[in-house]
Structure 1
Amino acid sequence: MKLSLIIPAYNEELYLATCLQYAIKELTAHAKPGEFEIIVVNNASTDRTSAIASGFENVRVVYEPIKGLTRARQKGLESASGDILAFIDADTRMPAGWPGKVLDAYAKRKDLVCVSGPYRYFDLSGIKSFLVKLYWLALAKPTYWLTRYMAVGGNFAASKQALLRIGGFDTSIAFYGEDTNIARRLAGEGRVQFDLGLVMDTSARRLKEEGFIPTAVCYVLNFMSEAIRKKPATSEYRDIR
C-alpha cells in the first residue's frame, strides 16, 4: 500500500519546515522510496510557504488558488497517487511510529476506510494539558462508541477509493465540522476507527488565542450539529497564525 501524506498550508512559514522535518524522518523510517509521497497544498498563501516546501527534495507542492481548508484537502485528494491518504496540519510534529500505526491498522482490517486519533499539544502544559487528555478520554472516545465515527482533521488517514466513492470533501464547509463530515460520510463505506494511541503532536495556537473552553464548546457543538443535522453549526472562523 502506498501512503500519500497531504499537508494543507495557508501562510504557514513559521511552522511548515519543522512539520516536514518530522514527517520525512518518520516516513523514511517506515517506508521505502516509492512507497510514500509528501504533498504540500499551497492554499493561496501570501508568505514563503511555497518556497519553504519546495526546498525539501522529497516534497511535491501543488497549488489551490481558492482559500479554504476543504478545498485544500480536495486538491490533495485529486493530486495523490497513494492507496491511503494521510492528512496532517502544517503545525504538527509527527510522533515516532505514526506511519507504522496507520499502515498496521489497514493491514489488520480489510474493511477499514478511515483511522484517526487525538491531538497532543507540544506547547501546552499544566492543568490545560491534563484537561485535554480528559476531553479525549471522557468525552471524545465515548462519543465515538455511540456514533461509530470520529476524525480529527490534522490527524487522520483514509482510503483513497472510499474518498472517491463519497465524492471527496464537502468544499461548501469552510472550517468547523469538516472532519466530522468526512468521518460520517466515510462510515457508510466501511469502518471508521478512532484510536487513542494514534496521537499527533500539534500547536495549541488556537486554544491559546480563543481560549480552552470556547474552543472545546465550539468543536462539540459542530460535531453534534454534523451528527444530527448533517451540517456544521458554525460557518465563520478565524485564521490564527
Structure 2
Amino acid sequence: MKLSLIIPAYNEELYLATCLQCAMKELTAHATPGEFEIIVVNNASTDRTSAVAAGFDNVRVVYEPIKGLTRARQKGLESASGDILAFIDADTRMPSGWLGKVLDAYEKRSDLVCISGPYRYFDLPGVKGLLVKLYWLLLAKPTYWFTGYMAVGGNFAASKQALLRIGGFDTSIPFYGEDTNIARRLSVEGRVQFDLEMVMETSARRLKEEGFVTTAIRYVINFMSEAIRNKPATSEYRDIR
C-alpha cells in the first residue's frame, strides 16, 4: 500500500520545516520513497510557506487558492496517489513509531477505513499537559466507545477509496467540527479506529492564545453538534499564527 502524507499549510513558515523534518525521518525509516509521497497544500499563504516546502526533496507543493482547512484537505485528497491518505497539521511533530501504528492497523483489519489518535502538546506546561492526558482518557475515549467514531484533524489516516465514496471533505465547514464530520461519514463505510497510543505531538498555540478551558469546551460542543445534528455549532474561527 502506498501512503500519501498531506499537510495543509496557511502561513506556516515558522513551523513547517520542523514538521517536514520529523515526517521525513519517520517515513524513510519505514518505507522507500516509492512507497510514500508528501504533499504540502499551500492554502493561500502570503508568507514563505511554499519556499520552505520546496526546499525539501520528495515534497510536492500543490496550491489551493481558496482559504479554508477543509478546502485544503480536499485538494490534498484530489492530488494524492496513495491508497492510504494521512493528514497532519503543519505545526505537528510526527513521533517515532507513528507510521508503524498506521500500517499495522491496516494490515490487521480489512474493514478499517480510518485510524486516528490524540494530541500531545510539546510546548504545554506540566500540569496542563496532565489535564490533556486525562481529557483523552476520561472523556474522549468513552465518547468514542459510545459513538463508534472519532478523529483528530491533525492526526488521522484514511483509505482514499472510502474518502472518495463519501464525496470527500465537506468544504462548507470552515474549521471546527470538520474532523468529527469526516469520522462520522467514514463510519458508514467501515471501522473508524481511535487509538490512544497513536499520539501526535503538536503546538499548543491555540490553547495558549484562546485559553485552555475555552478551547476544550468549544471542541466538545462542536463534536456533540456534529454527532447529534450532523453539523458543527461554530462557524467562526481565528487563525493563530
Query: Normalised by the shorter chain, which TM-score bucket?
Result: over 0.9
Provide the rounded CA distance (Å) in 1 between the counterparts of 2:126 and 2:45.
34
Using the TM superposition, give the Cα deviation of residue 64 of structure 1 relative to its aligned residue in structure 2, in angstroms.
0.1
Unaligned runs of 5+ in 2: none
How many residues are aligned here? 241
Q: Percent identical across equivalent pairs?
A: 88
Match of 1:102 in 2: 102
TM-score (ref. length: structure 1)? 1.00
Provide the rounded CA distance (Å) in 1 between the counterparts of 2:32 and 2:107.
17
SS in 1 for 2:33: coil
Answer whether contact 2:10 2:44 (CA < 8 A) is retained: yes
AA aligned opposite 2:91: D
Provide the rounded CA distance (Å) in 2 between the counterparts of 1:77 and 1:30.
22
TM-score (ref. length: structure 2)? 1.00
Provide the rounded CA distance (Å) in 2 between the counterparts of 1:184 and 1:91.
25
AA aligned opposite 1:136: W
Matches within 5 A, 1:64-213: 64-213=64-213
Provide the rounded CA distance (Å) in 2 between the counterparts of 1:34 and 1:172.
34
Answer whether contact 2:102 2:157 (CA < 8 A) is retained: yes
Are 1:33 and 2:37 counterparts? no
Using the TM superposition, give the Cα deviation of residue 136 of structure 1 relative to its aligned residue in structure 2, in angstroms.
0.1
Answer whether contact 2:176 2:222 (CA < 8 A) is retained: yes
Using the TM superposition, give the Cα deviation of residue 41 of structure 1 relative to its aligned residue in structure 2, in angstroms.
0.1
AA aligned opposite 2:137: L
Match of 1:225 in 2: 225
Q: What is the RMSD of the two structures over their aligned residues, measured on CA atoms?
A: 0.3
Provide the rounded CA distance (Å) in 2 between the counterparts of 1:127 and 1:211.
14
Match of 1:52 in 2: 52
Using the TM superposition, give the Cα deviation of residue 58 of structure 1 relative to its aligned residue in structure 2, in angstroms.
1.2
Deviations 1:168-209 (A, max 9, x none): 000000000000000000000000000000000000000000
Match of 2:17 in 1: 17
SS in 2 for 1:219: helix
* Structure 1 runs of 4+ with >6 Å offset: none
Unaligned runs of 5+ in 1: none
Provide the rounded CA distance (Å) in 2 between the counterparts of 1:124 and 1:58.
32
SS in 1 for 2:13: coil
Answer whether contact 2:13 2:48 (CA < 8 A) is retained: yes
Deviations 1:62-114 (A, max 9, x none): 00000000000000000000000000000000000111110000000000000
Using the TM superposition, give the Cα deviation of residue 222 of structure 1 relative to its aligned residue in structure 2, in angstroms.
0.1
Answer whether contact 2:33 2:58 (CA < 8 A) is retained: no
Are 1:240 and 2:235 counterparts? no
SS in 1 for 2:45: coil
